[in-house]
Amino acid sequence: MALVSVIIINYNNKNYLNRCIDSILNQTYKNIEIIFIDNKSNDLSYDYVIEEYSDKEINFIRNEVNNGYAGGANQGIKISKGEYVVILNPDIIMEYNFIEELVNYIKDDNKIGAISGKLLKYDFNKDIKTKYIDSAGIEMYRSGKSKDRGQNELDTGAYDNIEEVFGICGAAPMYRKSALQEIKINEEYFDEDFFSYKEDIDISWRLNLYDYKNIYYPRAVAYHGRGFGSSKGGAKEFINARKRQSEFLRGLSYRNQRMMEWKNIDKLDVNIFFRLRRRVIFAVYALMFERFQMKYYFQSKKLKKKMIIKHNIIKNNRKRSNKEISYLIK
């Protein structure tokens, strides 16, 4: 039975942790090591887990600085001993057979680099599971837009097929560790320049280019505490939905999108027109409603040279071009 390393990356999530950790301990798959990484929380969540789970075999690590999702994930992966690595957001609650289902599928196909199940939403205010989809994998568009498939839709069976998808949501992915070893750049699996946000799309993209598959496996089910934050359509609702997000989150999203494209796309990309059109539209929108984005634009420009260096490393080692993975892009 293969060892699975489960890494929890925590930052001020005390109210979620007992449900998340208990769902790991209650898994039918028992060959698991748990690594708990705290990114310098100030809500006493680290002290809480130490007190509540001191009798469990958990590797507790507390950082002196907040290394973000990417840094925390890399830290956990480097010390993990498992053949497979699961990275969990603290607001994830897994069904009892989530890990067993994923292992049983990934073990039979060495070309699977990442896999995850059907993520449904969890209402922590009411402490109940819902039947609304959080993520059924990540889909990518020619414009560069990416989104979680099915997000906020009622689960009526539309996403019940096992499918290869462009990417896997970073809330509860399982990675083949040997694949992560192959695609790492400068000893980083996730790109730490991203800090947080869209690093899951970036690593999914790299797996595709290195000829691995990202698989959506709906028989494995978990619940995610992310709220109903996406737009329902229309310019007014789009603007209101954006306002519900912090400036920091919106800024990282914009900055990391630019960096992700510099890293993974060749200059003579066949979809350049669609990407440029989206950039122009967003630039006009930002001038009208989000002028703070200029700060994040300059942040991305400062990091562009680093992204081009990483791009060249990927280009020299990839096994497929973006044209060859175009079947995954809408």
Summarize pLDDT for 8-59 with one digit per residue, the tens: 999 999 999 999 999 999 999 999 999 999 999 999 999 999 999 999 999 9
Residue 62: its pLDDT value, please? Answer: 96
CA angle 172, 203, 265 (to 5 degrees): 145
Percentage of the chain surpassing pLDDT 90?
A: 84
- Three-state SS at 75: helix
Band of the pLDDT at 238, cuts 50, 70, 90?
low
The predicted model gives 89-108 an average pLDDT of 98
Which of residues 210 and 229 earns the better pLDDT score? 210
CA distance 37 to 52: 16
pLDDT of 186 > 70? The answer is yes
The predicted model gives 168-175 an average pLDDT of 98
In the numeric block, the tokens 């595709």 are attached to 208
Q: Under a CB-based contact definition with an 8 Å cutoff, are residues 245 and 292 in contact?
A: no
Residue 219: its pLDDT value, please? Answer: 98
Residue 229: its pLDDT value, please? Answer: 56
CA distance 145 to 114: 21
Residue 65: its pLDDT value, please? Answer: 95
- Helix axis angle for 45-52 and 14-25, nearest 10°, is 30
CA distance 272 to 58: 47
Spatial CB neighbours of 90, under 8 Å, sequence gap ≥ 6 = 8, 9, 10, 13, 16, 17, 20
Q: What is the pTM of this model?
A: 0.94
The predicted model gives 93-119 an average pLDDT of 98
CATH 3.90.550.10 positions along the chain are: 4-224
pLDDT of 233 > 50? The answer is yes
- Three-state SS at 123: strand
Residue 267: its pLDDT value, please? Answer: 79
Q: How far is CA 124 from CA 19, 127, 129, 143, in A?
A: 10, 4, 9, 34
Residue 99: its pLDDT value, please? Answer: 98
Q: What is the 3-state secondary structure (H, E, C) of 181-241?
A: HHHCECCECCCCCCCCCCHHHHHHHHHHHCCCEEEEEEEEEEEECCCCCCCCCCHHHHHHH
pLDDT of 190 > 60? The answer is yes
The predicted model gives 298-309 an average pLDDT of 96
pLDDT of 234 > 80? The answer is no
Encode pLDDT of 284-302 as tens digits: 888 888 898 999 999 999 9
Q: What's the CATH number for 4-224?
A: 3.90.550.10
pLDDT of 231 > 50? The answer is no
Residue 236: its pLDDT value, please? Answer: 60
Spatial CB neighbours of 261, under 8 Å, sequence gap ≥ 6 = 144, 275
What's the longest Cα–Cα distance across the chain?
Answer: 57
Q: How far is CA 127 from CA 82, 153, 282, in A?
A: 32, 20, 37
Q: Under a CB-based contact definition with an 8 Å cutoff, are residues 8 and 21 in contact?
A: yes
Strands (E), the chain: 4-10, 32-38, 58-62, 84-88, 92-94, 112-123, 128-135, 138-140, 146-148, 163-165, 174-176, 213-224
CA distance 206 to 208: 5
CA distance 6 to 37: 11
- Three-state SS at 150: coil
pLDDT of 6 > 70? The answer is yes
- The pLDDT mean for the chain works out to 93
Q: Under a CB-based contact definition with an 8 Å cutoff, are residues 214 and 115 in contact?
A: yes
Q: Which tokens go with 83?
A: 């053949």
Encode pLDDT of 107-142 as tens digits: 999 999 999 999 999 999 999 999 999 999 999 999
